Amino acid sequence: MKWWQRLSDRLHLLVMLPTVFLLVTSPWIFMARQLPANASFWNLSHVYLGLLTCVLACLFLFTNLLGGTWRQYFPWVAGDIQPLLKDITGLFKLKLPVAGGRGLFSVIEGLTMLGLVTTGITGLMWYLTQGSADALSWRAWHIDSAMVFVGLLCVHVVCALSHLLDFLRQ
């Protein structure tokens, strides 16, 4: 196993834990244009843990793209859509896609990673532009990308659970 694959396996957990905290506590965040001077624990923890998670998410994406593995998560970029189409066609026949490879589950993993990185970068930009007129735009993009990420994450979790069920059946 290559070094980046071992790092990526560890990063998955290191990204997952703060992400769950950030998502669960996000309804308690009250910020608009900037971090308030008397910011609560929830605001401060969201901002600083979010900045750390942004760095970890970018590193996680980077390690998952090394060594040509980007073709697994983004096969359509290289024009390889047959495994994806095969998995989608199989779903209509009530056949569960296989984990790994270049099929549906891997594409969902890739899109989920992009969603997490996009959420992190828009949050970073919101933080860097705080106090300016642009901050509210970055806030809106951050919230929108977080909602897209949550949707992708839910699909990712369902895929992982279905893979686990398939594994237990064998």
Summarize pLDDT for 97-122 with one digit per residue, the tens.
887 889 999 999 999 999 999 999 99
Label residue 170 by pLDDT band (50, 70, 90).
low
Quote the tokens at residue 144.
Answer: 């929108």
The label of the residue with tokens 């992190």 reads 120
With contact defined as beta carbons under 8 Å apart, do 135 and 126 qualify? yes
Instruction: Please state the rounded mean pLDDT for residues 53-77.
Output: 93
Rounded-to-5 percentages of helix, strand, coil across the chain: 80, 0, 20
Q: What percent of the chain has pLDDT over 70?
A: 98
DSSP letter, residue 102: T
Distance between alpha carbon 108 and the CA centroid of its chain, in Å?
10
> What is the average pLDDT score of the chain?
92
pLDDT given for residue 1 in this prediction: 66
Q: What span, in angstroms and rounded, lies between the C-alpha atoms of 139 and 153? A: 20
Beta strands in the chain (DSSP E): none
